[in-house]
Amino acid sequence: MPYVKLRVKRWERGGKSYLSYQVTAPKGLVEGLGWEQGDILYVYVREGELVYRHGERPRRGVQTTLEHLEE
């Protein structure tokens, strides 16, 4: 039976505490949902139910240079 693993990272910066999570899931599940490695999964509680929203990872655009702008 496939499983999903959740890792929690806790850290402090500037006197504030932060949490981040990393989810590891079976390749078949990830591909079936159309997700890619590095995509973001937003999870929160709404009216007592666990809700998630998928967001793609931030992507870099084309690097703009002065030469590119002059063409």
pLDDT band at 71 (very low <50, low <70, confident <90, very high): very low
pTM: 0.43
Return the pLDDT at 29.
83
CB atoms within 10 A of CB 36: 10
Task: Give residue limits of the domains in the chain.
Answer: 5-70
Name the residue type at position 33.
L
Angle ∠(20,35,27) on CA atoms, nearest 5? 90
Token pair recorded at residue 11: 């850290």
Q: How far apart are CA 11 and CA 4, in angstroms?
A: 23
Helix then strand then coil, % of the chain, to nearest 5: 15, 45, 40
Residue positions counted in the chain:
71
